């Protein structure tokens, strides 16, 4: 098999949740443990940091990877979903996994893993662990896929756990309240292992984390309390962060909620030296200022074009969209155009009620099975006084928005990582 044939095999043999949703979801750790046995526990050959939460996991993971890389470590980075290339999920020092390695992995091991019938995520996670071991990384940042307690990645024994925040998402699997979701996310907290909580949330949610940490004797640090003198400003498409230990820290990521992600990462950075890591201050400044260039991160308030200005962001639930709407208010534009689509398993109404009524909408459907039909989305939107037309593809929606927009207008593309993925390819981003 060549690389493209290998990918098709993976999608066919181990259906991907990103593409088809519930049918690809496999609960529990049995498959992951069985795969790990086949490959002789490769994750035990390097240090790990585990990153969970509802939103912000990718930004936090990439920031940490950039900082550790600039500190002189050889860093593995495992994240999901990918946007334009499967290999985005598995990187070492910012470089994507080799196509040949993906092909060889499947050809060499398929007779061993096929009887287990793993999910796409379970198998690609083990591929990442083996790749990191073969590349002799010093440390790998491992992003949780879905939930925490029963997530495939929860077989690792990390040096540090991070939980960014809690919002209502994946309620079919994780529960229909914030406390139920928090309990699942808290499942990554390990015995004696420090855990950083990015956003406190309400008192019931924070108590879930406190109780779990206490039960396993894990030190728990709330970033909002740890860095309570934290100030954030925005200027020239940059984030300017100020705190006692980090004056005038410039962040390349300046999108919605990045100040919360930054505070979470800085809290982790101050804890890591206690765990044996050497992190020079200049590495932190360089990592924040160049994270996109260092790791290849995409889709976070990414400017795709300047005239008219086109911005995309992968926020896809009410917790994330709330920050997007606030961020849009700070942009300078004559008219707002929104190319918008969602996945069919999301709480659509909780998102639509947050969106600005004065925008012109281009309701669309991404090129995955999980995408919500654009006509259904438009119908629901009338309940919230959102007006616009429907387009069967993201390409047609984006082209219509650009055609209708004046140079002083703003076009926002989002609602789903799948919509953003389709749009990135139009702008030749990869």
Q: Is 248 in the same domain as 340?
A: no
Q: Which of 266, 295, 324 is the last residue of a domain?
A: 295
119: left (phi over 0), alpha (psi -120 to 50) or beta: beta
The closest of 221, 223, 151 to 187, measured between CA atoms, is: 151
**Is residue 17 within 8 Å of 146, Cβ to Cβ?**
yes
Q: Which of 295, 325, 347 is the last residue of a domain?
A: 295
- Confidence (pLDDT) at 22: 44
Judge whether residue 90 has pLDDT over 80.
yes
- Tell me the per-residue pLDDT of 203-250, one tens digit each, with 9 for 90 and over: 999 999 999 999 999 999 999 999 888 899 888 888 999 998 999 999
For 430, the 3-state DSSP assignment is: coil
> Could you tell me which residue, 25 or 40, shows the higher pLDDT?
40
DSSP at 59: H
Q: Which of 280, 295, 310 is the last residue of a domain?
A: 295
**Is residue 234 within 8 Å of 240, Cβ to Cβ?**
yes
- Confidence (pLDDT) at 17: 36
> Could you tell me which residue, 58 or 174, shows the higher pLDDT?
58
Angle formed by the axes of helices 3-13 and 120-134, to 10°? 140
Range of the domain at 396: 302-426
CA distance 196 to 157: 16
- Tell me the per-residue pLDDT of 178-192, one tens digit each, with 9 for 90 and over: 889 899 899 999 999
pTM recorded for the entire structure:
0.93
Q: What domain count does the chain have?
A: 2
CATH of the domain at 358: 3.90.190.20
Judge whether residue 18 has pLDDT over 80.
no
Q: Please provide the distance, in angstroms rounded to a whole number, between the alpha carbons at the two ends of the chain.
A: 24
Q: Across the chain, what does the average pLDDT equal?
A: 92
Model confidence at 428, in pLDDT bands (50, 70, 90)?
Answer: confident
Q: Is 281 in the same domain as 310?
A: no
- Confidence (pLDDT) at 117: 87
CA distance 170 to 168: 7
CATH of the domain at 212: 3.40.1190.10
Query: In angstroms, what is the C-alpha Rg of the chain?
Result: 21
- Confidence (pLDDT) at 236: 80
- Confidence (pLDDT) at 25: 47
Q: Is 324 in the same domain as 249?
A: no
State the sign of the Cα–Cα–Cα–Cα dihedral 27, 30, 132, 124.
negative
**Cα dist from 292 to 61, 284, 296, 422, whole Å:** 12, 14, 5, 19
**Cα dist from 59 to 51, 77, 101, 235, 344, whole Å:** 10, 12, 26, 20, 24
- Tell me the per-residue pLDDT of 112-157, one tens digit each, with 9 for 90 and over: 998 988 888 899 999 999 999 999 999 999 999 888 888 899 999 9
Average pLDDT over residues 24-30: 65
Judge whether residue 15 has pLDDT over 60.
no
Q: Is 287 in the same domain as 306?
A: no
- Confidence (pLDDT) at 301: 94
Q: Is 257 in the same domain as 406?
A: no
Model confidence at 171, in pLDDT bands (50, 70, 90)?
Answer: low
Judge whether residue 345 has pLDDT over 90.
no
Q: Is 135 in the same domain as 270?
A: yes
Average pLDDT over residues 5-20: 69
Q: Is 225 in the same domain as 329?
A: no
Q: Is 175 in the same domain as 122?
A: yes
Judge whether residue 296 has pLDDT over 90.
yes
């Amino acid at each position: 098999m060549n690389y493209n044939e290998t990918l098709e095999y993976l999608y066919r043999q181990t259906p991907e949740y990103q593409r088809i949703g519930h049918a690809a979801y496999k609960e529990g750790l049995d498959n992951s443990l069985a795969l790990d046995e086949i490959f002789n526990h490769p994750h035990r050959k390097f240090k790990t940091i585990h990153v969970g939460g509802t939103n912000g996991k990718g930004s936090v993971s990439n920031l940490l990877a950039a900082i550790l890389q600039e500190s002189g470590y050889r860093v593995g980075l495992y994240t999901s979903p990918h946007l334009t290339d499967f290999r985005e999920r598995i990187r070492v020092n910012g470089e994507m996994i080799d196509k040949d390695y993906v092909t060889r992995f499947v050809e060499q091991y398929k007779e061993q893993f096929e009887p287990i019938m793993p999910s796409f995520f379970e198998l690609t996670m083990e591929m990442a662990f083996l790749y990191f071991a073969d590349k002799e990384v010093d440390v790998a940042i491992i992003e949780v896929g879905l939930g925490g307690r029963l997530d495939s990645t929860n077989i690792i024994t990390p040096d540090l756990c991070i939980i960014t925040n809690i919002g209502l998402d994946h309620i079919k699997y994780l529960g229909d309240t914030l406390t139920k979701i928090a309990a699942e996310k808290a499942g990554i907290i390990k015995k004696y292992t420090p855990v950083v909580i990015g956003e406190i949330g309400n008192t019931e949610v924070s108590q879930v984390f406190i109780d779990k940490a206490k039960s396993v004797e894990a030190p728990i640090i709330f970033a909002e309390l740890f860095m309570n003198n934290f100030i954030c400003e925005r200027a020239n498409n940059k984030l300017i962060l100020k705190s006692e230990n980090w004056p005038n820290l410039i962040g390349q990521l300046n999108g919605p909620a990045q100040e919360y992600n930054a505070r979470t990462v800085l809290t982790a950075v101050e804890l890591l030296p206690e765990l044996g890591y050497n992190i020079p201050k200049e590495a932190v400044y360089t990592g924040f200022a160049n994270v996109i260039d260092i790791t290849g991160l995409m889709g976070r308030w990414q400017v795709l074009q300047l005239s008219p200005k086109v911005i995309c962001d992968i926020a896809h639930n009410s917790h994330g969209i709330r920050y997007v709407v606030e961020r849009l208010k700070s942009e300078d534009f004559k008219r707002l155009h929104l190319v918008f689509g969602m996945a069919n398993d999301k709480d659509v109404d909780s998102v639509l009620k947050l969106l600005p009524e004065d925008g012109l909408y281009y309701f669309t459907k991404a090129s995955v099975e999980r995408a919500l039909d654009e006509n259904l989305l438009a119908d629901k939107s009338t309940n919230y006084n959102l007006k616009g037309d429907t387009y069967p593809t993201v390409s047609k929606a984006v082209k219509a928005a650009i055609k209708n927009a004046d140079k002083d207008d703003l076009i926002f593309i989002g609602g789903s990582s799948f919509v953003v993925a389709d749009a990135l390819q139009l702008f030749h981003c990869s």
